[in-house]
Structure 1
Amino acid sequence: MTVGTVLSVNVAAAAPPMGKGVASTGIHKLPVSAPVEVRAPGLKGVGLHSGLVGDHIGDTKNHGGNDQAVYAYATEDYAWWAESLDRELPPGIFGENLTTSGLDLLGAVIGEKWAFGSGLVLQVTFGRLPCVTFQNRMAEPRWVKRFTAANRPGTYLRVLVPGQLAPGDRIAVVERPAHGLTLTEAFEIYMRDQSRLARLLDAPELPSSLRDEVLERLG
């Protein structure tokens, strides 16, 4: 069983937008010390948006909802980016709710389940698709293309069992589907290798909207 640690739990208040036709953004996430309640937020656009109570999402058309309830990024991938960009990258700067340590998110499998001591269970759904708000937040040239090419997208997670998240919590990967479709393979196919789109359908745990899109593209 793979075990990691919650390095940081990050939430955001509403802030002025950064380049999208929305009224606010929630990308400026900061670490909190107290436990945060996590629950399924409901459908994208009409539900509670973020899976973390008190966390703001501005672009509710493209972010949040049950299949993007929590966004996680690994400190190991932050270290890679810090060296590549030659700058410090504190937890939360990518807009993630959960900064992990000790988990190989590059090898995480779509549908694998993460269990926490509070009883919280999260499930890996898909990687993060970069947007103009993220690019403006980072203030790095060609950031969207650079983030895509690096194929270190972090992962969105859905909430299977509600509970709490707190810094220092243990993360146990308690189930990993046999299909073996990893985040990095799925992200690479979706973003850069459409000849292999059918491979994505091997993972029934993909967001239903993404499965529908793949089926439509395949005709």
Structure 2
Amino acid sequence: MTGRVASVNLGIVTEAEWAGDASGRSGIDKRPAPGPVRVGAEGLAGDFIGERAHHGGPDKAVYAYAEEDAAWWAAELDRRIGPGAFGENLTTHAVDVTGAVIGERWSIGSVVLQVTMPRTPCTTFAGFWDVPDLIKRFTVRALPGAYLRVLHEGEIGAGDPVQVVDRPAHGVTIGEVFRALNLEPELLPRLLDAEDLPSWIREKARRRVTAAG
């Protein structure tokens, strides 16, 4: 089955006590766009990002989450979880987001994206869902979704095929990076082979490997 974009989602301004932004505003509540959306180096046109110290920027310009993984959470929490509920820009169908290799390139619409890093759950996410222990549960489940950088700007729309046009030979996946940083430190040396990981993550892994002797 060919992978595709099930929904392109844009953040609206949400004001709440749980919002991570100093102003009390968050863009985690993302809603499906009615048509194709322009994608630039910093992300999607019209997407509100509240806490820019931790969200957005070239290495986290676009966030993708698989609707198959969302379905697991819907069953686990016995609630409807629609497109954008994870704060994702792209809800994907039949795309192995957790198994995506760091540095692999996706061609979608007229855009080329590159997989960079997994998402780290935060208190804003837990507050948005009103699930106090969500950070722990999300970490244990280890299906974090993937951040992507924009290599070629253009437009993306719902229904566009997701084509993997290049995959680095090192094989380090989104899932491995997440587990290495949060659950399985024995995987940390693997991260040093993934040159397209943001430099601060590789440096963090290097320090932890060195400290472990």
Count of aligned residue pairs for this structure pair = 208
Deviations 1:61-89 (A, max 9, x none): 11110110000000111111111111110
**Contact 2:19–2:26 (8 Å) recurs in 1:** no
Whole-angstrom CA distance in 2 between matches of 1:184 and 1:177? 15
SS at match of 2:22: coil
Q: Greater CA deviation, 100-109 or 10-19?
A: 10-19
- What corresponds to 1:20 in structure 2? 20
- What corresponds to 1:80 in structure 2? 72
SS at match of 1:33: coil
| Structure 2: gaps (5+ residues) | none
User: Aligned residues: percent identity?
Assistant: 50
**Contact 1:6–1:171 (8 Å) recurs in 2:** yes
Question: Is 1:208 aligned to residue 208 of structure 2?
Answer: no
Question: Is 1:131 aligned to residue 132 of structure 2?
Answer: no
Whole-angstrom CA distance in 1 between matches of 2:195 and 2:145? 20
Going from structure 1 to structure 2, the CA distance change for 1:186 and 1:214 (only over 3 Å counts) comes to: same
| Structure 1: gaps (5+ residues) | 42-50
Whole-angstrom CA distance in 2 between matches of 1:212 and 1:59? 23
SS at match of 1:106: coil
SS at match of 2:64: strand
Whole-angstrom CA distance in 2 between matches of 1:173 and 1:164? 17
**Contact 1:3–1:173 (8 Å) recurs in 2:** no
SS at match of 1:174: strand
Q: TM-score, normalised by structure 2?
A: 0.93
Going from structure 1 to structure 2, the CA distance change for 1:215 and 1:143 (only over 3 Å counts) comes to: same
Deviations 1:94-120 (A, max 9, x none): 1000000011112111111100232x1
**Contact 1:112–1:175 (8 Å) recurs in 2:** yes
Written as runs of structure 1 = structure 2, the 5 A alignment for 1:174-193 is 174-193=165-184
Matched AA of 2:182: M
Matched AA of 1:109: V
- What corresponds to 1:111 in structure 2? 103
Matched AA of 1:9: V
Whole-angstrom CA distance in 2 between matches of 1:82 and 1:13? 22
Matched AA of 1:212: E
Q: RMSD of the TM alignment (CA)? A: 1.4
**Contact 1:74–1:99 (8 Å) recurs in 2:** yes
Whole-angstrom CA distance in 2 between matches of 1:13 and 1:77? 23
- What corresponds to 1:46 in structure 2? none
- What corresponds to 2:158 in structure 1? 167
- What corresponds to 1:37 in structure 2? 38
Going from structure 1 to structure 2, the CA distance change for 1:21 and 1:27 (only over 3 Å counts) comes to: closer
Deviations 1:98-152 (A, max 9, x none): 000011112111111100232x100111111000000001111310000000011
Question: Is 1:199 aligned to residue 198 of structure 2?
Answer: no
Q: TM-score, normalised by structure 1?
A: 0.90
User: 1:19 Cα shift?
Assistant: 4.2
